[in-house]
Amino acid sequence: MSTDFFTSQDNARKQTGRLVFFFVTGVIATMVSLWAVLAFALSTRIGAQAWSDPRIAIGVFLGVGGVVTVVTLFKLSQLSQGGEKIAQMLGGRRIPPTTFDPGERQLLNIVEEMSIASGVPVPPVYVMEDRSINAFAAGPDPSRSVIGVTRGLMDNLSRDEIQGVIAHEYSHIFHGDTRINARTTAVIAGIMAVGIIGWVMFRHIGPTVARSSGRGKNNPGPAIGLGVIVLGLAIWGIGSLGMLFGRLIQAAISRQREFLADAAAVQYTRNPDGIAGALAKIRDHYSGRLESPAASELNHFLFATSLNTLFATHPPIDERIKRLSAMGAVKTAAADAATGAPAPRPRAARADASQRMPQTAGLAAVGLAGTLEPETIALAHDWVGRLPRELTSAAHRADGARAICYLIARDPDASADADALVASTDPDAAAAYRSLAELVARQSSVGQLALADLAAPALADLGRPGYSRFRATLGQVMRSDKRIDLREWALTKSLERHVERRFVEGPSPAHSTIAEMEQQACIVLAIIAVTQHDASVNADAYRRGVAHLGLQRMTLPSASELTLDSLNEAVRRLSKCRYIERERLLEACALTAMADGTATDTEVLVVRSVADALDVPVPALTAS
């Protein structure tokens, strides 16, 4: 199984403890230093009692603690809104899904293919009009992440090199690095706040007070201004200690993760020359320095460091290229050898997907959760390339995206009511709805869900009010045939994860276990067991899944318990489980679906929809 994703998601939450340690250490050091300076200054006037006066310590601790806490919480609230905020701070412009710019279109195609291949919602893509070569991924979770690149990256890298860089950024998304980076930024802002206040007092407030208090022999303005300047200088000097801790946090958190993301990019694409070539171009021909005022604060988000300092957040590019050459980056190693750089000996090749994953097709999709493989990328590339142009174009437009979802929910055997509903309720989408009906119907149920994933960014662009109107109409279309089937349920779970989570602030808590939710797990397994299986296999299929989870309820629940409402409630509660528990549940789902030795499209659809409900990215097309 692909345990990297599940363990990384849980570890990303635990990483907060390490940040808290650095944070508290930096704040305490700042408090103690400022208290010592104030106590020393006051002791020259009131004597040694200044050192033992608790009011001084309490005042300093409350003042510093209040400033740091307010700034940290404000920044954390700001960044928890989604990756768009980071993109805007770096000067990014959103690339519209309908763009005709060749470079932007190629970049969006790469991102869409990787999202379809991994099951991660297609992220908004931003471009920064900067000649350097750089990129970033940002967002509190995979459903609310964005990817950004510089214009220099699009103009100067080949498709393989761009794909390598984007694969590196997807690794950060998979492994929770984007969440850690956002929290790191908030912690750094809080720790550095005291020093910034001191600098403002020293550089601006003090001189302003000294100049603006009028003239006269008894004018206290200059003396007050000088006092503010001296106090500001002292606070700024002490706050520099906080700045030091802030930079240490950036460096400590980021460096090793960059090596891991480079290695993951090679694993995902099996083309080490792609990402190595991008790094070589940054080293030899172009700069990675981003001309943005926020680059220093957000340096740990970037693909390549924008600063060359003692506390650099990225390993040296030469070291990164050496490691990639050891993984098989032939072109870059040859170029370095030609210029006198030693070519490292290649390491043994990694085990490929067939060696790492279970051999059954039904388990393969779950085994690929939270990762990428060259085969799934190639499959997504081929699938997108074979889509009729009308469907691809429609998926990128708001009216076409809505029409596609209506058509997926439409029952071909009872379509008159649905057709009338769309025509009267959403006339803007009605024309696309009529023209695309046959093309959508030709797609398999798995392919239709992948098409909905492709349309998700256009639906998210509707905003909350527009999207709410669309969902109301979609609900009417689903109910027009007097039933909600598993295909329609799968569409709602896909929309919830790929679109609606972008409108929700903050990830849901994840601390429960399967043992605490035995009833809900059994309902999910039972519904998969009775889907598309012969009655003689149902009980055995159900027991297989239950046994894998170590649960005791071996008797298949009654039909009255197995409704879509109960399934909805079950997956809602199970989404509170830790990620490692979600992995076990998805394994049990796949084993249940494969009880008769095969996995139908409907069974795979249900398993993937459970994964969507649990916020686990599973490839859309492995069963096609």
Residues classed as catalytic: 169
Amino acid at 564: L
The DSSP output letter for 187 is H
At a CB cut-off of 8 Å and minimum separation 6, what does 577 contact? 510, 512, 513, 514, 517, 585, 614
Phi, psi of 291 (to 5 degrees): -85, 75
**Nearest C-alpha neighbor of 39 from the set 29, 49, 30, 31:** 49
Order of strands, edge to edge, in the sheet holding 125-128? 93-94, 125-128, 146-150, 135-138
Q: Helix, strand, coil: what percent of the chain each, to 5?
A: 70, 5, 25
Q: Are 286 and 131 in contact (CB under 8 A)?
A: yes
Are β-strands 146-150 and 135-138 bridged in parallel, bridged antiparallel, or unpaired?
antiparallel
Q: Which residue is listed with tokens 């691809």?
A: 392
- Give DSSP secondary structure letters for 23-78: HHHHHHHHHHHHHHHHHHHHHHHH-THHHH-HHHHHHHHHHHHHHHHHHHHHHHHH
Q: Are 615 and 370 in contact (CB under 8 A)?
A: no
Angle at 169 between CA 297 and CA 589, to 5 degrees: 125
Distance, CA of 2 to CA of 611 (rounded, Å): 14
Q: Are 95 and 87 in contact (CB under 8 A)?
A: no
Distance, CA of 8 to CA of 616 (rounded, Å): 12
**Nearest C-alpha neighbor of 582 from the set 613, 614, 612:** 614
What token pair was written down for 568? 């909805």
Distance, CA of 188 to CA of 182 (rounded, Å): 10
Phi, psi of 94 (to 5 degrees): -65, 130
Amino acid at 24: V
Q: Are 8 and 176 in contact (CB under 8 A)?
A: yes
- Give DSSP secondary structure letters for 251-274: HHHHHHHHHHHHHHHHHHHS-HHH
At a CB cut-off of 8 Å and minimum separation 6, what does 152 contact? 130, 131, 132, 133, 134, 286
Distance, CA of 391 to CA of 603 (rounded, Å): 25
